[in-house]
Structure 1
């Protein structure tokens, strides 16, 4: 075995001494063994800490091949040396703090995904939430038969005398809590969503909501006692064929006159060319008569501009210019935002009820 020269021995001792010193600096103290194993590792010959190479791929600014995904690296403790300069020490602590925040953000995002209470589930067969006997949407309570778990709503249990029609087992005493939770928490959007309805209703209340939904394109016949409901065009044809004589016909953008009696609650106006029905509302107030105009059509449609003019003794006159409100039925007319208040003396006393002549002008906006 060759012997080392004195100069070589001195160099070897120097190398070993430096190696041991570096190992001593890198070894964790006993008091830090229980600390979280969080570190920043580098895989480059660069001495700069301003651009760490370890980044999560999702938050990376570039697709650098030298970047190593964080989740594949085992963390190691980073010691903080108090004896270093204050500025340098603050910089090191700041970088470690940003690194820990990044870990916390990842953890919180991961947990949030599992704690999200809203889960969207699509049923290929919506009939799964309907009663298999009456085919109406299931409502709480929901019962299952004692033998095979067949379902039935509470009203059907009474009709079938608590005997399952599928297997003849008793039904009506054992509730299905799992289906009840599904039924109670299942919501759906209104079918009139495309017309502007943003309501999210429970599945078993969907039909009830849609019958009275203000955004429904269907409208009701304004003739008293008639229950016809359909689209605007079908409603106009129905009214013209069955109740045409009860309305005052006019042409859009042409001035016409009507005779309004003091206690008439409403007067129906039928436009000849556009195919639209209007209602002149009249209500008696302490100060006089409140008159306004509405249009029977879906509420998402644009209203018409109208002008009302009434005269008294050829010198006094009242005028109103406004926009019609869109209503789906005569009963759904809300409080008008603008109206014409007609004093009592404007109505003539030629008859017991009194009446007046009113000029009306309706045209599209």
Structure 2
């Protein structure tokens, strides 16, 4: 039995376990052992990350904002799930205490190594949390960023992709409750075009904002490098769409703010990357190959401001990802 973990599912299943406890306590005989849910691979990973974060505390050598960031990650990933005591057949697993940096290394490695195998609506939160941990911890230990980058790029060579554009693992669900949106013929072109147009607008924006920084500055170098990765993103979308379905390119794009100095250039860069993240979300929900593009966006954004803890917001019982407003 596959068991998609959500905040609502956790509450409902906890209540059912309590009911069983009351029945057995009242002497009601249960001849048939209850069916203990088993988590699929993606939910097991989410549950392990929840345990890791629960056992993590900020240390003296961690970033100053580690404590605040840690709570945001815990809220996003959701609580640890364990079957009720009455249904458990073995003790729940546990995680050793870790510092923030140590937890970031373990979580980012686990998620980015397993990207080709992820296949549920949990894709955004897993990738988002791993990215945020890697980049924030990377301010103290740059090796975490380098190793994460290598793992994400390697995953692109091993992700099995179907004709519709999503990974095969995203299709392998056993119940209607686990189904996530798929990039079928009716929805794929609008999604790809939204990403394509955002990539084009961002490229135009970076061409305009780059000149506001010194030629040898970190910001100028990153802006120029970003043009290359945005070109790759646009090319990928054009390949998915085909010439017939692709929107025509605009001669120019409205920029808000218009970059006239380093301050407005930085503000524009943040706005452009937030737009990229929002456009990527529907793709990430169905295909973990989008993780590379979200990673590139997050790394670029971190040059113009402090690393963003989370690119998306997670609210409500479902904890579904939403673009930040």
TM-score range, shorter chain: under 0.3
The structure that is strand-richer by fraction is: 1
The structure that is helix-richer by fraction is: 2
Q: Give the greater-gyration-radius structure (CA).
A: 1
